[in-house]
Chain A
Amino acid sequence: MQVSERHVSELGDLVDPSAPVYLEPCSLTGYSDEELNGFLRTMLLIRAAEEQIAVWVEQGQVHCPCHLSIGQEAVATGVAAALRSSDRLFGNHRSHAHYLAARGELYGLLAEVLGRADGCSHGMGGSMHLQSRQHGFFGSVPIVAGTIPIAVGAALAAKMDGGTDIAVAFFGDGACEEGVLHESLNLAAIYSLPVMFVCENNQYSSHLDIALRQPSDRLTRYAEAHRVRAQTVDGNDVTAVARATADLVDAARRNSMPVFLEAITYRWRGHVGPKEDLDVGVRRSMTHLAAWKHRDPVRRLEEALSLAGRADAAELAALHEEVRARVTEVAASALKAPWPEASTLLDFVYAR
């Protein structure tokens, strides 16, 4: 890990992949079998879908830039658990997981990544421009921090509606270096808007370590500067994410106020594309990656379920197989989806 002499790590064991405390199984306290099964199923679905997309990229079937979140599945899964379909979610360049956790259709995602007319964005978006409005996933875009103020506006609308819906913006540690995050936190704070800022701190922006980009790795400090309630959580522990989110979302709904969740995690693949050993052409440390893979959010939930006697090895294997089979089947039908008609090139520039 490269470190600037100006950088101080304030997160301690949370960013040390060998720290034993964060290798432990998840705590299952307070969650039903159904909820836990749902967490596992969602994480497995995200992983299997992205592994399929990775294969397609390597085969040359998918050409658009694909930013994979394998290894980070617990964040989207745990956050989505506290949300409802009338909430308003906004993603970023790395949003397959957000889309799927929000219950977006797998077929729509795979067809979109393939550039097909059946895609969730009619084949106009590819991997980086996803939406599933009916599930509350309003959109993802690749401009860093681009959706953060938009989520604040969706929260303004929610407040004007007079209900208890909230808006959620997913972004990464790199987005914290964009000025608009600060404008958005300030605006949300002074207007008391029900928005959750979800920062997935995977410690890298493209190829560059946070230690070379920021004087501290603790990103809740941005929220604190704007008097926004914030919490840091182990982002590879799905129940820890779900618990922290539930508390924050409850506060946002009840009090119409902004909240900030920082989830510490790590991506297993490079910034863009399927390779593990490369970030935009720059070599990654495979030792560091191997250590982080041991903090696997899927393993930690499965071990917890086994230890608690709430799932046995056969059941877990069957679930893996079921999810994989579903992805394989849906992928096959997405490959048969039609291409967009050339005549649709100008169809969506303006409303009709």
Chain B
Amino acid sequence: MLASAPPSEGILAYGQAIRDGFSWLMSRHAEVFAIGQGLWSPWYVGNSMTDLDKQFGRHRVLDTPVSEAACTGAALGAALCGYRPIIIHPRLDFMLLAVDQIVNQAAKWRHMLGGKNGPCLTIRAIVNRGGEQGAQHSQALHAWFAHIPGLRVVMPATPTDARDLLIASVLCDDPVLYIDDRWLYEEQETVAPVRVRDLRKEGPERRVEGSDLTIVGASYSTRLALQVSARLAAHGISCDVWDLRVVNPLNVDEVIASVKRTGRLCVIDGGWRTCGLAGEVSARVAESVHPSAWKAAPLRVTLPDAPAPTSAVLEANYYPDVESIVSRVTACFGVGT
């Protein structure tokens, strides 16, 4: 038996914070269990679930056959019977084999049965890209799922959110897709003790206050937004940085208010451009900000509309980095160097 989980406060990395979220939930809620491929391996989910099976037992941390659809459906079935399962897909691309259970079933049961029977289900999907892993090991498909009414989609950017939004997702009575990003696992932050939040009331948070340009991100792109903001600050450009945190249902009221002040909007998204999150945010802001308030057209920073490459040389061009975003922002808005 391992020692009890370390306290959920102090300096925590994002991956460890997720683990703390699981530990917090499973210590306090007998109805919570975790099920998914690779949960008894230190490999599949990085350090985000290390030894949870030893801490809570393998009857509550279930490793599974290679059956994404059946395992997701099984978690959904248990969720209809009073449990709060978390089905873990260590790589989002493989979760696509379970789309029927997520989109047709989990997201719709409550609605199509007139509110009589809805699942308290959390689906955790991990975005794990880079490293020459290629087109089927790299996808960030949050925009697909955010399109689905009835499915809440959560994308934490910070260790505190990684922990507290996981807890909020599991305690929420709706199906929630919680997406975390392996590129954030080493991000550190001093975190306060767990604050139990009502997911229905969670929305964008301002990460940096500024007056010249509104930058919006979610998950890893929030980190990019913060780095871009720091670079632009050195040139005297003041950015208002917003972290979306929850991308469905999407609430951008505060982003709209921000753009009304700054007159400029840049949305950074880890997904593709067409029908993507950046387009959705831009459209909602455009609908609500009077044309006279705009100082420049909005800018979307996304992946190019192509599957991920493998070769590192191509990867370097595929994923937007701080340098490329700063140069696009300065060119687009006529600001900076």
Residues of A that sit less than 8 Å from B by CB: 88, 90, 119-125, 129, 131, 133, 138-139, 141, 143, 146-158, 160-161, 167, 179-180, 183-184, 186-187, 190-191, 347-352
Contact = CB atoms under 8 A, between A and B. Distances in A.
A339 B28 CA distance: 43
Interface stretch (B112-120, B159-167, B217-225, B318-326): B112-120
Interface string B80-121: 111101000000000000001100110001111111111000
Nearest to A143: B104
Contact of A139 (B72, B100, B117): B117
A150 B113 CA distance: 15
12 contacts: A119-B114, A120-B116, A124-B115, A129-B113, A131-B114, A133-B117, A138-B117, A143-B105, A152-B73, A157-B81, A187-B67, A350-B174
Contacts, number: 151
B271 to A, nearest CB: 23
A88 B82 CA distance: 12
Q: Which of B67, B77, B101, B116 has the most CB of A within 10 A?
A: B77
Contacts of A131: 113-114, 116-117
Contacts of A155: 77
Interface residues of B, number: 44
Contacts of A350: 110, 150, 152, 174, 200, 249
B interface: dominant SS: mixed
Contacts of A146: 73, 100-101, 104-105
A124 B65 contact: no
Given A125-B114, A141-B104, A179-B69, A187 B109 contact: no
A57 to B, nearest CB: 20
B114 A149 contact: no
A153 B111 contact: no
A140 B71 CA distance: 19
A interface: dominant SS: mixed
Contact of A133 (B78, B112, B116, B172): B116
Interface of B: 33, 59, 62, 64-65, 67, 69-83, 85, 100-101, 104-105, 109-118, 149-150, 152, 172-174, 200, 249
A348 B104 contact: no
Contact of A153 (B77, B116, B174): B77
A286 B113 CA distance: 36
B203 to A, nearest CB: 14
B111 A138 contact: no
A107 to B, nearest CB: 15
Nearest to A181: B70
A153 B115 contact: no
B75 A153 contact: yes
A67 B72 CA distance: 27
B114 A186 contact: no
A152 B112 contact: no
A79 B259 CA distance: 62
A139 B77 CA distance: 11
A124 B112 contact: yes
